Amino acid sequence: MELLYSRCAGLDVHKKSVSACVRVSTDGKTQKDNAVFGTFTGELEQLRAWLEKNKVTHVALESTGVFWMPVWNVLERSLANFELVLINPQHVHALPGRKTDQKDCERIAELMQYGLLKGSFIPPVPVRELRDLTRRRTHLQGERNRVLNRIRRLLETVNVKLGSVASDISGKTARLILAQISKGNYVPEELAKLAQASLKNKKGELIASLQGFYTEHFRWLLAESLQELVQLDGKLERGDKRIAIHLQPHADLIRRLCTIPGVEFTAAAVILAEIGFDMNRFPDPAHLASWAGLCPGNNESAGKRYSGTARKGNRYLRRVLTQSAWSIKRKKNCYLTSLFWRIAGRAGQKKAALAVAHRILTIVWHLIADGSTYQEFGANFHDQKHPDRSARRLIRRLEQLGFEVDAKPKAETATRITIEQPLQLSPPSPTPKLNTPQPAVAEASEVRPRPAKPSKPKFQKLLVKRKPRTPKPTSTTDANPAISRI
């Protein structure tokens, strides 16, 4: 193998120690120098000085929990500008019986010299700070959801069914009612007067749902939970303001990302915090989707491809993209919605959501890399891509439902299917054959577009008439199932 780097270092990082090895290759000879350092900041600065003294250009270290971060923080501030590479420990497994700290760092340094190590994506400091904020927001939102779930459970324990009337117990009406209950007001009629908006029309249901077995113990627990909820809401609000300050220089990019269906400010902030603002790290959208864990895994053996589960990837990015995919499930006249249902019909909604998340990430890559703006294709994009195929599918579907269709393309555009004249009712048939192609359909493919007549309207409606269906003659075997079984 070709030697790419002459001076490399490999670091085996632990909680209290760092085993280091420097490999220097000159004139076909290789020299190794090993050392062990502590993990306090002063000891890590000694490690940095030792690497600078040996004129190391490339440093590779394992990703061991969070213990690699102190080492990284010290080395990235070096004046020598080391080429730092953070590697996955699973990629440098040692052979059984040859596992020691010194051998591990030597193996890492050797693999680095020959360019056999693939580094992880470590964004610059501003992006890492934004990532800390968005991930903190995700954790706070999870804690808030847990508090709401505890409040729902607490209400059920005293026969209060507020959640059965108010779909959101963190809404305005529910918060007012819960605040009064925590203060000792247990009269359902008075609590129902606090209803807001659409819940004003459900005062009777509110009164019935608020009849429970209130106790002082319940009131104290509810007050504590509501206080936690208020504190978490305040933390989320302050965190959102901090995120907005960090993203102020990228306001135009945020605006363009929010034009994607299902993506709003919070989702755009999480996406940028996880993938950064520079797409040179990912050569194309496929590399980005693979890194995020939004594509199928490779599982092939003996020339056969098997179902491959997606890799873990970045769970924060995958979560927000999947949530965005689910949110556009019912959107009208949307390309991504049509893609969702197109895949859901044959693979299920969960795989469809993952596929739409993949497509959203692909769009994000182009918006960041090219500086472009999202353009909506519309819900009929796939039908317009292959109009003849779509027409045949729809005609076949109408035939299965018992219709006779005579389809001819209009002169203005060949993508519109019209019926020139209504068909006459066919005579009753003893056994209608719904799945048999009709002669009119066979002739439809041979009809050429003709110029439109000025007297006719520009758009004609689809005129179909249903064939009369007669009951199938009942035979002796059909009338008596027992005979047919004999």
Render pLDDT for 120-176 as a digit per residue (tens, 0 to 9): 899 999 999 999 999 999 999 999 999 999 999 999 999 999 988 888 888 899 999
238 lies in the same domain as 134:
yes
Q: What is the CATH number of the domain that holds 160?
A: 1.10.287
pLDDT in tens, 168-225: 888 899 999 999 999 988 888 998 888 888 888 888 899 999 998 999 999 999 999 9
Phi, psi at 20, each rounded to 5°:
-125, 145
Q: Are residues 413 and 445 in the same domain?
A: yes
Q: Quickly tell me which residue has 């027992």 as its tokens.
A: 482
For residue 222, what are the CA distances in angstroms to 147, 182, 193, 198, 213?
A: 10, 6, 20, 25, 14
Cβ atoms 446, 405 nearer than 8 A: no
CA separation for the pair 471, 485 (Å, rounded): 23
The pLDDT, as a whole number, for residue 411 is 67
| Count: domains in the chain | 4
What sign results for the dihedral spanned by CA atoms 343, 347, 353, 359? negative
Q: Are residues 359 and 293 in the same domain?
A: yes
Count the Cβ atoms, other than its own, within 10 Å of residue 218: 19
Predicted confidence at residue 405, as pLDDT, reads: 84
Kind and range of the H or E run holding 85: strand 83-87
Which residues constitute the domain of residue 279?
A: 249-299+310-370
The Cα 408–Cα 395 span in angstroms is 11
* CA–CA gap between residue 361 and residue 287 (Å, rounded): 11
Q: Is 319 helix (H, G, I), strand (E, B) or coil?
A: helix
Q: Note whether 182 and 108 are same-domain residues.
A: no
Tokens of 315: 């769970």
Kindly state whether residue 133 falls inside one of the protein's structural domains: yes
Helix H or strand E segment including 81:
none
Give the tokens for residue 85. 């590479």
| Residue 444 near residue 408, CB atoms below 8 Å | yes
**Tens-digit pLDDT profile for residues 264-276:** 999 999 999 999 9
Per-residue model confidence (pLDDT) at position 64: 86
For residue 26, what is the domain's CATH number? 3.30.420.10
In a domain, 119, yes or no: no
Q: Provide the pLDDT confidence category of residue 444 given band limits of 50, 70 and 90.
A: very low
pLDDT band, residue 310 (cuts 50/70/90): confident
Q: Where are the alpha helices (DSSP H) in 276-403?
A: 285-292, 315-327, 335-347, 349-370, 381-385, 387-400
Which tokens sit at 392? 């045949």
Q: Assess whether 142 and 177 both reside in one domain.
A: yes
Q: Is the pLDDT of residue 72 over 70?
A: yes
Whether residue 52 is contained in a domain is answered as yes
For residue 303, what pLDDT is reported? Answer: 81
Q: How far is CA 52 from CA 7, 37, 56, 57, 392, in A?
A: 11, 15, 6, 9, 71
For 166, 167, 171, 192, the CA distances from 204, given in Å and listed in that order, are 13, 16, 19, 8
pLDDT band at 456 (very low <50, low <70, confident <90, very high): very low
Does residue 484 form part of some domain?
no
Give the whole-angstrom CA distance, residue 421 versus residue 427: 18
Is the same domain home to 86 and 171?
no
Instruction: Tell whether 266 and 195 lie within a shared domain.
Output: no
Is 417:396 a contact under the CB 8 Å cutoff?
no
> What are the residues whose beta carbons fall under 8 Å from the beta carbon of 313, sequence distance 6 or more?
290, 291, 292, 293, 294
Residues 107, 14 share a domain: yes
Instruction: Express each pLDDT in 10-54 by its tens digit.
Output: 999 999 999 999 999 988 888 999 999 999 999 999 999 999 999
Does residue 225 form part of some domain? yes
The Cβ-side half-sphere exposure at 423, using a 13 Å CA radius, reads 21
Query: For 335-393, what is each residue's pLDDT tens digit?
Result: 999 999 999 988 899 999 999 999 999 999 999 999 889 999 988 888 888 888 888 88
Enumerate residues 6+ apart whose C-beta is below 8 A from 67: 13, 14, 15, 39
> Cα(341)–Cα(358) distance, rounded to whole angstroms?
15
pTM of the model: 0.77
Same domain, 211 and 289: no
* Mean pLDDT of the region 417-437: 41
Among 222, 246, 270, identify where a domain stops.
Answer: 246
| Measured distance CA(64)–CA(51) in Å, rounded | 21
Domain-ending residue, one of 55, 90, 113: 113
Residues 73 and 156 in one domain: no
Q: How does pLDDT run across 386-413, given as a tens digit for each residue?
A: 888 888 888 898 889 888 888 777 765 4
In a domain, 282, yes or no: yes
User: Do 394 and 355 share a structural domain?
Assistant: no
Q: Which of 43, 78, 113 is the last residue of a domain?
A: 113
In a domain, 482, yes or no: no
**Residue 381 domain-assigned (yes or no):** no
Cβ neighbours around 14 below 10 Å, total: 14
Please tell me the distance from the alpha carbon of residue 249 to that of residue 251, in angstroms, as a whole number.
6
Mean pLDDT for the chain overall? 83
Cα 41 from chain centre: 39
240 and 253 share one domain: no
